[in-house]
Amino acid sequence: MKKRIKRILLILSGSILLLSGCSTSGNDTGLEMTGMYFDTIVSVKIWGTKDTSILEQTQELCTYYENLLSRTIETSDVSRINNANGSPVSVNQETAELIETALSYCELSGGRFDITIAPLSSLWNLGHNDGQIPDTAAIEEAKSHVDYHNIKIVGNTVQLLDSEAAIDLGAIAKGYIADKIKEYLESEGVEHGLISLGGNTVVIGNKTDGSPFHLGIQKPFAEQNEIIDSVDVTDQSVVSSGTYERYFEKDGRIYHHILNPDTGYPYENNLLQVTIISEQSVDGDALSTTCFALGLEEGMRLIQNTEGVEAIFVTDDYQLHDSRTEN
């Protein structure tokens, strides 16, 4: 039980850590909000303003997007699509646009990133599974409904051509929401900020002393706050995905939450973690899962052919593979 509690705390605390406090001008200690949304702890800290209504509106944004994109809230757009038995569903324009963006990553990965993974992710239930491996027949049945080609979008109408299919935007939604929070804060004149949604961290500008934010990347399966690497970022997103986020161990094998649509089981490719540094967090979120699914060689090749994006891969021998230094 203690191990499980410890694992949950690691999930909630996120994978990216601010290694040094934000240097401030005068007595500006900043404003901060923290809340529980999207099954993770969301925190936002801003400097250079005393207007607390900005953070109140940020909380409202979190609630708005959770009610739009969550797979577990019955009235959300995603749930209404999943529960429509294959009928077309009219959704918010933002929902349709995010699904379109997610589908582009499904195509990019050749289906190894697939937002119709929900039948499998529901079956495995890795967030609450203490060691039950699903029956083989059940995995095969769930797997037969995973195919992003079954999503049809016409304007703001979304349809699942397989009535047993279901969408899960968990691998891209937090990045999208982080970008929207940043967009809102900047519209309110915020020039220095730190937004954290679990493994997604977005910084606004730089620190008030002009230096970049110094962020640590958590070491997989290590004690909380143990760092394996760090990055300096200004006005960028840092997103990590890995086997240590939601998992259980049985007979010496780790069963984690990044599921392979082809096998129905968690990916086994000698990777523990992928961290993406990008301008947009929606891209970093999708690419962290995509590159994990592709594996080290294909994932590194994708990053090196994608402008404005860098990546750090951690293999199961805890070696770092940085796209900024590897050819």
pLDDT (0 to 100) of residue 275: 98
Judge whether 167 and 81 are in contact, CB under 8 Å.
yes
Judge whether 153 and 99 are in contact, CB under 8 Å.
yes
pLDDT at residue 77 greater than cutoff 90: yes
Residue 8: pLDDT band with limits 50, 70, 90: very low
Cα–Cα distance between 140 and 69 in angstroms, integer?
27
Structure confidence by residue, pLDDT tens digits, 149-208:
999 999 999 999 999 999 999 999 999 999 999 999 999 999 999 999 988 999 999 999
201 CB-side CA count, 13 A = 30
Q: Give every CB contact of residue 12 below 8 A, 6+ residues apart in sequence.
A: 40, 41, 198
Structure confidence by residue, pLDDT tens digits, 178-195:
999 999 999 999 999 999
Cα–Cα distance between 93 and 157 in angstroms, integer?
9
b vs e for 303-314, b when ≥16 Cβ sit within 10 Å of the residue's Cβ?
beebeebbbbbb
